[in-house]
A and B are shown apart, each in its own frame.
Chain A
Amino acid sequence: EPEVTQTPSHQVTQMGQEVILRCVPISNHLYFYWYRQILGQKVEFLVSFYNNEISEKSEIFDDQFSVERPDGSNFTLKIRSTKLEDSAMYFCASSGAAGNQPQHFGDGTRLSIL
């Protein structure tokens, strides 16, 4: 069964540094998503992406965040100047359509900000 893959599995970064989290969605999917899960808390929606542009974003997704689909297979989340509170698990997901298709999740990248 096709999977969403995320790299790296764990990223440790100094506060203030830029970090890029990478995802390879399922190849025939058209909708891509990023979610965040702070340790012990619920999964929070960050952003959805379709047709090479952001379709929806949450209040968490401020100017420090950006997403990009640089080629036909990768989907990245960039945090420009990391803060301690950005430490979390970041999950990428993809789906074939919006709403009525389940989103398939990767195993996540654990981001630790020092």
Chain B
Amino acid sequence: AQSVTQPDIHITVSEGASLELRCNYSYGATPYLFWYVQSPGQGLQLLLKYFSGDTLVQGIKGFEAEFKRSQSSFNLRKPSVHWSDAAEYFCAVAAGGNDMRFGAGTRLTVKP
């Protein structure tokens, strides 16, 4: 079965600094990969997705992610973080079936 690991429970960055959130997946083939963001008390908003093709995908709010098959990774990046980016970030994998498996999440704190 597919699984997702987000090694970092909590990350703190200064506003304007770059950001990278790590995600590793476990699955026998290339899964469908997603990043979602959750603000406090809110639902999950899709940031970006990877299905096939170009391994560097662009998302909303200036985020991008790179699929690296050799490392089974799908790390999320942003060159310059804004205070409004503070939230919980979830990596998710769907293996062609109907269920999506989420990582444990990484909480992002942005320092002024």
Contacts and interface: CB of A to CB of B under 8 A. Distances in A.
A58 B99 contact: yes
Contacts of B92: 43
Nearest to A110: B41
Contacts of A33: 98-100
Interface residues of A, number: 26
Given A99-B95, A100-B51, A102-B49, A42 B43 contact: no
B90 A107 contact: no
Nearest to B6: A42
Interface string A90-114: 0101000011101111111000000
Interface string B73-112: 0000000000000000010101111111111110000000
Contact of A48 (B49, B99, B104): B99
B44 interface: yes
Interface in A10-59: 31, 33, 35, 41-45, 48, 50, 55-56, 58
Contacts of B103: 42
Interface residues of B, number: 24
A43 B43 contact: no
A47 to B, nearest CB: 9
Contact of A42 (B32, B49, B90, B99): B90
Given A42-B90, A43-B44, A99 B98 contact: yes
B43 A105 contact: yes
Interface of B: 32, 34, 36, 42-46, 49, 51, 90, 92, 94-105
24 contacts: A33-B100, A42-B90, A42-B102, A42-B105, A43-B90, A44-B102, A45-B99, A45-B101, A48-B99, A56-B97, A58-B99, A91-B44, A93-B44, A98-B94, A98-B98, A99-B95, A99-B97, A102-B34, A103-B46, A105-B36, A105-B44, A105-B45, A107-B43, A108-B43
Given A48-B98, A91-B44, A93-B44, 10 more contacts: A31-B98, A33-B100, A35-B102, A42-B102, A98-B97, A98-B98, A99-B95, A99-B98, A100-B32, A105-B44
